[in-house]
Amino acid sequence: MEMANTLGEPCDMDNALERFILHCRSKNLSPRTVSWYNDVIFYLGEFLNWPRINDITSDDIQRYVLHSMRSCSAITTQGRIRAYRVFFGWLYRRELITKNPMGQIENLKLPKRRPKVLADYEIEAILRQANLGTVVGRRDYCIVATFLDTGIRAGELRGLTLDKLNLREGYLIVVGKGDKERRIHFSEKLRRDLSAYLKMREGTSWGQSNFVFPTIHGKQFSNNGLENVTQRLADRAGLNVNARPHRLRHTSGTLWIERGGDPLTLQQRMGHSTLNITRQYVDQRSRVLRQKAQQFSPLEAIEQERIRLPRKKK
């Protein structure tokens, strides 16, 4: 099919997708984000049998949303709705469509999910499994400790390089979503642990790698490889828990709030685009405080004591 030469001319959906992907690349979006847009819009095109872009209606979108919900979770489907808002919004602004079919599509009502976190004793058990007498053990220990102390994402830790780590000042710089850099300070404890690890690895074959946490071949970890490192420690401890990087990140955010950290600083540390995303950790703390209010209530203690004591005979 030939692509329309002038903006505003009608075009088929595959042509529109091609233009949109070029637009995404010109904005320097990450390859992963571009690939995600391409995939979810492709799914819609296949479902609708690749119509002309201006013929797509709100009813078409609604039919696909219902189709998606039969095979995918509500969260996945909502993500696709978000992608279609961006796609058709861009088409409308470029005058490639005369009406935006997403205008009448509402967001799905999603259940509020509590971040699942590790308990203190589980964290201690996981860290104890790392053999600090070996360089690999120290590396694995520091991987878990860095997740917990900074709350960075798995991709950010995988890509962390030595030039972005300042042990003297106690901070690291990561490149997050949208290629945005942010500086994250860490504790004196982590600074000592990282110093010991980097000094120990100097004599290894992979000691010259520019990655802070490379494989034993000096290469960057894959997503699965990094997940295996953290999960393996939990398995060795005999814990039947998910200890993958995202769970460690949730644990870090929750512990920050529980120990009195403020949400605005946490938003910056974790790279959240809005405070609404960070609020899940504040809500988690509210639930903990309610539980503690019940557990340690003086009035509740007096009431329980009154119930236990025998009543005096008149």
Per-residue pLDDT of the chain (314 residues; tens, 9 = 90+): 334 444 445 589 999 999 999 999 999 888 889 999 999 999 999 999 999 999 999 999 999 999 999 999 898 999 999 999 999 999 999 999 999 999 999 999 877 666 788 999 999 999 999 999 999 999 999 999 999 999 999 999 999 999 999 999 999 999 887 778 899 999 999 999 999 999 999 989 999 999 999 999 999 999 999 999 999 999 999 999 999 999 999 899 888 888 888 888 888 888 877 767 667 776 665 555 566 566 656 665 666 666 665 665 55
The values of phi and psi at residue 181, to 5°, are: -85, 145
pLDDT attached to residue 307: 63
Four-residue CA torsion sign, 224, 225, 230, 232: positive
Report d(CA 222, CA 296) in Å as an integer: 46
Tokens of 12: 């088929």
CATH superfamily of 13-104: Tyrosine recombinase, N-terminal domain (1.10.150.130)
- Is the separation of the CB atoms in 239 and 122 below 8 Å? yes
- Is the separation of the CB atoms in 220 and 158 below 8 Å? yes
Which DSSP string corresponds to 127-167? HHTS-TTSHHHHHHHHHHHHHHHH---HHHHHT-BGGGEET
Which sequence spans correspond to the domains of the chain?
13-104, 120-294
Q: How many CB atoms lie within 10 A of CB 169?
A: 9
Helix (H, G, I), strand (E, B) or coil at 91: helix
Does pTM surpass 0.75? Answer: no
CA terminus-to-terminus distance, the chain: 98
CATH superfamily of 120-294: Intergrase catalytic core (1.10.443.10)
CA 165, 169, 171 angle in degrees (round to 5)?
A: 45
Burial 123-141 (b: 16+ CB within 10 A, else e): bebbbebbebeebbbbbbb
